[in-house]
Amino acid sequence: MKHALYLFIVLLLPGCRAQEPQPDGYVSESLQIERIGVGIYKHISYLETETYGKVPCNGMVYWNGDESIVYDTPTNDQAASELIDWLQNTQNKQVNAVIVTHFHIDCLGGLKEFHKRGIASYASNSTIALAREQQQAVPERGFDQQIELKVGKATAIGRFFGEGHTRDNIIGYLPGEAALFGGCLVKERNAGKGNLADANTAEWASTVRQVKSAFPGVKTVVPGHGEHGGMELLDYTIQLFETE
């Protein structure tokens, strides 16, 4: 009885979110969900390309209490449906919003499914214009430099620092968790430069330096493709493009 009372009190104390159940994730042919922190998950879906073959593409999920937010959709509606079902039906988390980090299909390929489910979508006004120009699914709500959304008692940020992978690329940041979703602006360790069709390689390193300066205490960094890590991913990306 004393143990049960102690556990009840601990779960009510501030800063004890780590006591919440933390499921390992989910795997199917279309989608993988991997836990990388307390309430932080990387979602991985796949894009068939002529140049690179079948490419794994990352997004990020965060939840706090009964609410959640998604950075970038999976690459298609099927994988997006699985992600939303996993959050809403398996984990009992309300999906507050999806934030799209740039206009390429690996960021918004499943956007129609989010809209079908009545989930609000956000992106920079630049991303909205480019998505419309490319006849992609178009995020509903725009912003210029930064947006802050509530997730339970926490805050999730989307912010533009400058050009790099594309002229509209933004990053996601969770200040309460010191976790950064770099998207395709940030490279995994030992990666090549990747798709440069819409890139500004001359500004890329400078933009990532600004990200690093803004969040010096970052602990977790998720790139648009490949393995997550820490601050070393920002340093690697800067080094990769600083000679441009």
User: Which one, of 171, 126, 156, lies nearest residue 144 by Cα?
Assistant: 126
- Residue 165 annotated in active site: yes
- Residue 187 annotated in active site: yes
Token pair recorded at residue 144: 């210029």
**Distance, CA of 82 to CA of 170 (rounded, Å):** 25
> Could you state, in order of their start, the residue ranges of all structural domains in the chain?
25-241
The average pLDDT across 9-25 equals 55
Q: Which of these is catalytic: 58, 76, 169, 195?
A: 195
> What pLDDT was estimated at residue 217?
96
Q: Residue 19 — very low, low, confident or very high, per pLDDT cuts 50/70/90? A: low
1.20.140.10, 3.40.50.2300, 3.40.50.450, 3.60.15.10: CATH of 25-241 = 3.60.15.10
**Distance, CA of 72 to CA of 99 (rounded, Å):** 6
Residue with token string 């922190």: 37
| For residue 241, pLDDT beyond 90 | yes
> What is the tens place of the pLDDT at every residue in 138-153?
999 999 999 999 999 9
Token pair recorded at residue 224: 């648009």
Percent of the chain residues topping a pLDDT of 90: 87
- Residue 219 annotated in active site: no
Q: Which of these is catalytic: 42, 43, 93, 165?
A: 165
> What pLDDT was estimated at residue 16?
45
Which amino acid, one-letter code, is at 41? Y
> What is the tens place of the pLDDT at every residue in 51-107?
888 999 999 999 999 999 999 999 999 999 999 999 999 999 999 999 999 999 999
Q: Residue 244 — very low, low, confident or very high, per pLDDT cuts 50/70/90? A: low
- What is the pTM (predicted TM-score) of this model? 0.91
Mode of pairing for the β-strands spanning 25-27 and 179-183:
unpaired
- Residue 106 annotated in active site: yes
